[in-house]
Amino acid sequence: MNVEQLLGDKGHDVISVQPHRTLAEAIRILSEKRIGALVVSGADGALIGILSERDIIRALGESGPAALESPVSRVMTAKVVTCRAQTSVDELMEIMTSGRFRHVPVVENGRVSGIVSIGDVVKHRVAAIEAESRAMRDYIAMA
């Protein structure tokens, strides 16, 4: 299975924030949408960073409550690891594990076409294992 198939099940929605918005505004969006990361995009829609819960905690730890008034661009991760729609789920799992991050934007033709979380990957793996288990039980029952 590849990322495109994951997005087919999950959807291609991407919630983003502009780099000049405050960290407090970004936190409100994360809370309202019940998500763990925002894509940071410029006026032209190009990917310029990602803001995760980890970035927010790091900023609060370093600057305290004053960090909430900082622009997202000061707190975000600018060096974003991305994947393509044709990336296999196994390869994506390795990327996420080795990089120790939980959200990966999917980029096609220079544009973000989706975002995959570790939860999406785990959900896929659990479904695959359950299907294998069911198939094995059915095979044994028929033998």
Rounded distance, CA 42 to CA 111, Å?
Answer: 11
Structural element, H or E, at residue 116:
strand 111-117
Residue 84's DSSP bridge partners are none
Which residues constitute the domain of residue 132?
3-142
Q: What is the CATH number of the domain that holds 69?
A: 3.10.580.10
Distances (CA, A) of 84 to 1, 18, 141: 13, 23, 41
Start-to-end CA span in the chain (Å):
29
Total number of domains in the chain: 1
Residue the block writes with tokens 């991760």: 77
Interval 131-141: pLDDT, tens:
788 888 887 88
Interval 59-87: pLDDT, tens:
999 999 999 999 999 999 999 999 999 99
Burial (CB count within 10 angstroms: exposed 0-12, middle 13-18, buried 19+), residue 133:
exposed
Residue 62, Ramachandran bin (φ over 0: left; ψ between -120 and 50: alpha; else beta): alpha
For the whole model, what pTM was predicted? 0.84
